[in-house]
Amino acid sequence: MGNVVVVGTQWGDEGKGKVVDLLASSADIVVRFQGGNNAGHTLVVNGEKTICHLIPSGILHEDKKCLIGNGVVVDPAVLLEEMNDLEKRGISVTPERLSLSEKAHIVMPYHKAIDLAREAAKGSGKLGTTGRGIGPCYEDKVARTGIRAVDLLEPDTLEAKIRTNLKEKNFYLEKFLKAEPLEFQPIYEKYSSMAEILAPFIADVSQEIDQAIKDGKTILFEGAQGTHLDVDHGTYPFVTSSNPISGTVCTGAGVGPDKLHHVVGIVKAYTTRVGAGPFPTELLDETGDYIQERGAEFGATTGRRRRCGWLDLVVVRDSVRLNGLTSLSITKLDVLTGLERVKVCVGYELDGRRIESRPASLKKLARCKPLYEDLPGWKEDISSAKAVKDLPPQARNYLKVIEERTAVPFSLVSVGPGREETIKLKDPFETS
Ligand code: GDP
Ligand code: IMO
Ligand code: MG
């Protein structure tokens, strides 16, 4: 047994939530280590849908502990709402089941206001953020002006920090972004009352993980967003403000790299993207619409229609390298059912030369032409397949092409949103 990291290999929404919920049955603890409530992770259990934005996707397993690491930015109002929604459905979220790192940074109303006002000011040049204040919150963390969960426990610290920050933020909002300023008192009161409810959950998550490992427990680390939204390695500036790659577990949860044994990359059988930014294999035709409709590709956080395109193995191979992937989990293979032909991008042509990795320059990327392998599609319903041999030969061939071109073995193939709609090939915990 070993500890497992799950990351997205594309531009997010690969189906990380489904896979984490599934793998959580073999773990003792599930940990989020970056991102915030820009994430929307969907779990479908016994036909019932749950969307986790901040709470780790292991929460539906009653005997598992869920931890929110220091690398996550936390909007306390969203966290409390998520906890209440789960409670209403009979899933108890007590401090025995959930801890929030005392070092996690807190999303404040001015972060959201700045995020929204900046996007509005950019007009057609906007990034298409989720508008949840994620970028501005990470900016404050790096600027060393952020408010951490531990500050919520000290009323005088909280008060001083909100006052100081508001002066600067209001100047920026009013004078530069031409937006409304925010008042101190309602923010302070709201955050103080939320702090009281959250206080018992605030803990030293790094130490909790360390102790659990010493006690022989198994940890599952749940990534948010996707590798190509990574602020360093993604399609900058059309990225999020954190590092969704596997290495972030160390900084975002407070564990050493020797504690990570297996890294599962989630690959959607095609590609989607929400928000603006380059997308070489995007389909702006009826095939794109077919995938969008069959895959119900609407954002789990903002409800926006997701852009759809063919599977891009340049993108996936970059993810293999950046994350050190030890296995791939393919999701939504069922969505491709019914297509006459399915294409897979296996390289790019840039100015007459073949390249195997995505260039950093957006101008160069815009000149890249995807090189496709054109494969036969399948018509059969595959959602009840329990083994690869149950799949039609064309679907098996599709998987073979992915496995050969990435040189990474599959741990599972998902053929529907439900927990049971899964072909299990290898338990990542057992192979590590
Ligand atoms: P995440 O952000 O990576 O957790 O992914 P999202 O939850 O945002 O989006 C994935 C969507 O696909 C959700 O609606 C899932 O319920 C759904 N899903 C996951 N796996 C499969 C699958 O194999 N087939 C189908 N049809 N839907 C799936
Ligand atoms: P999960 O965890 C898909 C995208 C936004 C936007 C860009 C920056 O569900 O896979 P931000 O609000 O982070 O500053 O927006 O990143 N984005 C996501 N796209 N899935 C996500 O999370 C995303 N989180 C952020 O759409 O393009
Ligand atoms: Mg999502």
Give the count of alpha carbons within 13 A of 126, CB side only.
16
Quickly list DSSP for 25-38. Answer: GG-SEEEE-SB-TT
Distance CA 421, CA 415 (A): 5
Beta bridge partners, 329, equal 266, 412
**SS3 call for 386:** coil
Q: Would the CB of 331 count as within 6 Å of ligand 1?
A: yes
Distance CA 96, CA 50 (A): 21
- Ligand 2 pocket test, pick from 129, 242, 331 with the greatest ligand atom count within 8 Å of Cβ, gives 129
Q: How confident is the prediction along the chain (432 residues), in pLDDT tens digits per residue?
A: 899 999 999 999 999 999 999 999 999 999 999 999 999 999 999 999 999 999 999 999 999 999 999 999 999 999 999 999 999 999 999 999 999 999 999 999 999 999 999 999 999 899 999 999 999 999 999 999 999 999 999 999 999 999 999 999 999 999 999 999 999 999 999 999 999 999 999 999 999 999 999 999 999 999 999 999 999 999 999 999 999 999 999 999 999 999 999 999 999 999 999 999 999 999 999 999 999 999 999 988 888 999 999 999 999 999 999 999 999 999 999 999 999 999 999 999 999 999 999 999 999 999 999 999 999 999 999 999 999 999 999 999 999 999 999 999 999 999 999 999 999 999 999 854
What CATH number has the domain spanning 267-424?
A: 3.90.170.10
Q: Is 46 left (phi over 0), alpha (psi -120 to 50) or beta?
A: left
Closest Cα to atom 13 of ligand 2? 240
- CA-to-CA separations, 85 to 93, 199, 353, in angstroms, rounded: 10, 19, 53
Distance CA 273, CA 280 (A): 11
Is domain 105-198 given the CATH code 1.10.300.10 in the classification? yes
In one letter, which amino acid is 352?
Answer: G
Distance CA 339, CA 391 (A): 15
Q: Would the CB of 69 count as within 6 Å of ligand 1?
A: no
Catalytic residues: 13, 41
Distance CA 98, CA 92 (A): 10
pTM, entire model: 0.98
Distance of CA 276 to the CA centre of its chain: 17
Q: Ligand 1 centroid vs 300 CA: distance in angstroms?
A: 9
Q: Would the CB of 42 count as within 6 Å of ligand 1?
A: yes
Q: Would the CB of 271 count as within 6 Å of ligand 2?
A: no
Distance CA 266, CA 10 (A): 8
Closest ligand 1 atom to residue 295 Cα is 26
Nearest to 98 by CA among 70, 61, 40, 56: 56
Domain locations along the chain: 4-100+202-263, 105-198, 267-424
CATH level 2 (architecture), domain 4-100+202-263:
3-Layer(aba) Sandwich (3.40)
- Say if residue 237 is preceded by a cis peptide, omega within 30 of 0: yes
Nearest to 318 by CA among 240, 244, 390: 244
